[in-house]
Amino acid sequence: MVPKRIASAIMNSLKGGVVPRVGLGYIAVGREKEIDALLGDIDVVQNGGASFRFIVGRYGSGKSFLLQTIRTYAMDKGFVVVDADLSPERRFMGSQKQGLATYRELMKNMSTKTKPDGGALSLILEKWIYAIQQKVMREKELSAFDAKLSTEVELRIFETVGELKELVHGFDFAKVLSLYWRAYRDGNEEMKSNVLRWFRGEYTTMTEARRDLGVNVIITDSDWYDYLKVFASFLVKAGYKGLLMLIDELVNIYKLPHAITRQYNYEKILSMYNDTLQGKASHMGIIMALTPQSLEDPRKGVYSYEALRSRLESGWISTNNNGDMLAPVIKLAPLTQEETFVLLEKLVSIHSGLYGYESKVTDEDIVAFLKIEFGRVGAQTFITPREIIRDFIELLNILYQNPDKTVQEVLGSSGFEFAISEDDDVSDEFAEFTL
């Protein structure tokens, strides 16, 4: 039985066309190969390596669902996860600090197993200091009230911080980290708040940072990714397995009108990709989701940047219906009709449990619904799980509100409308006309 809180979140999210943040295990079907490949990357990151993947699929094909599934798994395994959706205001680089806006979103959404909804930065720092205190107390046989404890803890902290100074921007990171320890020791809440602001990239001028913290650097649009790499190293020292960064809606880079701006952003992606493959990043995994067009379009897509195209484009062997799950690009195949059937069965159970009624929807009804869905023109190629799910939840809602009606009556009525794909443009009768 799915708890009502989780069942409500699942139904409301799916009906709204978005992926729920909780309860994914109750509705997960298929994608075994893709999930196994990404879990293999998680193991590589845990062992000190780095990974980079693109998840490619049409709108509603399950990209975001796959990202959330991996997010949940990684947190359960002891990773820190940061995630962000790109938008016109958030990208990797921009003349109006759009890269920094992405960093701030990532930091806002920093999550762990014990704080899965974001905002975990302060918890991570407090846990790190507490763990060092406990370790020193055990090793030195000191009590919590021993005068030597603070000195010994400070030595251990500076030892950890010192190891970060060898990294790019590690010296600045380590200095601010030391400030947090002193503020923690002295009970200075204002200083702790200022340090957290600095880590979140919220200082806009060096003058402001110098006044509040005594440091002459701030995180900027051009170096935020370098600080994430330092974070990954620090998190391992703080007891976590590593850092996983999830970027969705990469299509917003593809939509940028200016070619030079797109190229700068693709160049930043290339830098991240090279870092992971060349060993310049460690304990860090990166997964980005995008549509086929935003990847493959030779004029505006990722492949318009030759250095990326030559690294990511599939060879002739894997394009012959043999998906290579070890390649940097994972292309999502549609769910099979059998997998879709299992998913709809689960939704029937969750819906009836949420609203407290006994469902009359039979296996034959689900089959009839799927026959109608897949019988639509072009459905075998273009229909996505998102559309099917929205249609089916609408069907369940109508049946619940009209218990005297049967599935056949609802499906045959004009009151039930099929979802329209975001890829479809039914408003323009000349949509297929080309010169």
Q: How does DSSP assign 124-192, residue by residue?
A: HHHHHHHHHHHHHHHHHT--TT-THHHHHHHHHHHHHHHHHTTSTTHHHHHHHHHHHHHHHHHT-HHHH
Q: How many percent of the chain have pLDDT more than 70?
A: 91
> Do both 160 and 125 map to the same domain?
yes
> Do both 362 and 291 map to the same domain?
no
**Whether residue 320 has pLDDT greater than 60:** no
Out of 91-100, 190-199, 334-343, 362-371, least confident range: 334-343
Look at the block and give the residue holding tokens 């809602």: 397
Torsion of CA 327, 331, 335, 336, to 10 degrees: -70
In total, the chain counts a number of residues equal to 435
pTM for this predicted structure:
0.85
> Do both 389 and 410 map to the same domain?
yes
pLDDT of residue 410: 86
Q: CA 311, CA 79: separation in Å to the nearest integer? A: 28
| Domain-embedded: residue 433 | no
Segment 280-302 mean pLDDT: 95
pLDDT of residue 8: 93
pLDDT band at 121 (very low <50, low <70, confident <90, very high): very high
> Do both 189 and 272 map to the same domain?
no
- Residue span of the structural domain in which 353 resides: 1-30+335-420
> Do both 247 and 326 map to the same domain?
yes
pLDDT band at 319 (very low <50, low <70, confident <90, very high): low
Please name every residue paired with 56 in a beta bridge, in sequence order, or none if there are none.
290, 331
**Whether residue 163 has pLDDT greater than 90:** no
Backbone dihedral angles phi then psi of residue 52, each to the nearest 5 degrees: -145, 130
Backbone dihedral angles phi then psi of residue 285, each to the nearest 5 degrees: -120, 140
> Do both 48 and 21 map to the same domain?
no
pLDDT of residue 432: 36
Q: Helix 224-237 vs helix 98-108: angle between axes, to the nearest 10 degrees?
A: 20
For residue 115, give the DSSP letter.
Answer: B
pLDDT of residue 36: 92
Please name every residue paired with 82 in a beta bridge, in sequence order, or none if there are none.
245
pLDDT band at 31 (very low <50, low <70, confident <90, very high): confident
> Do both 339 and 327 map to the same domain?
no
**Whether residue 374 has pLDDT greater than 90:** no
CATH at residue 275: 3.40.50
Say if CB 165 and CB 171 are below 8 A apart: yes
pLDDT of residue 378: 54
pLDDT of residue 323: 66
pLDDT band at 24 (very low <50, low <70, confident <90, very high): confident
Please name every residue paired with 323 in a beta bridge, in sequence order, or none if there are none.
none
Residues 6+ apart with CB under 8 A from 291: 56, 57, 58, 59, 251, 254
Helix H or strand E encompassing 343: helix 337-355
pLDDT band at 275 (very low <50, low <70, confident <90, very high): very high
CA-nearest of 78, 80, 86, 87 to 109 is 80
**Whether residue 241 has pLDDT greater than 90:** yes
> Do both 129 and 48 map to the same domain?
no
| Domain-embedded: residue 88 | yes
Could you tell me the CA-to-CA distances from 419 to 60, 91, 170, 342 in Å, in that order?
11, 30, 50, 20
Q: How many structural domains are present in the chain?
A: 3
Out of 24-38, 102-116, 182-196, 278-292, least confident range: 24-38
Beta-carbon count within 10 A of 377 CB? 6
| Domain-embedded: residue 318 | yes
Backbone dihedral angles phi then psi of residue 296, each to the nearest 5 degrees: -95, -15
Last residue of a domain, one of 331, 351, 383: 331
The rounded Cα 59 to chain-centroid distance in angstroms is 16
pLDDT band at 325 (very low <50, low <70, confident <90, very high): confident
Strands of the sheet containing 329-331, edge to edge, are 80-85, 243-248, 284-290, 50-56, 329-331
The rounded Cα 311 to chain-centroid distance in angstroms is 23
Last residue of a domain, one of 299, 331, 363: 331
Q: CA 30, CA 325: separation in Å to the nearest integer? A: 15
CA-nearest of 227, 233, 173, 222 to 50 is 233
Which two tokens mark 294? 């935003």
pLDDT of residue 316: 54
| Domain-embedded: residue 9 | yes
Share the mean pLDDT of the chain. Answer: 88
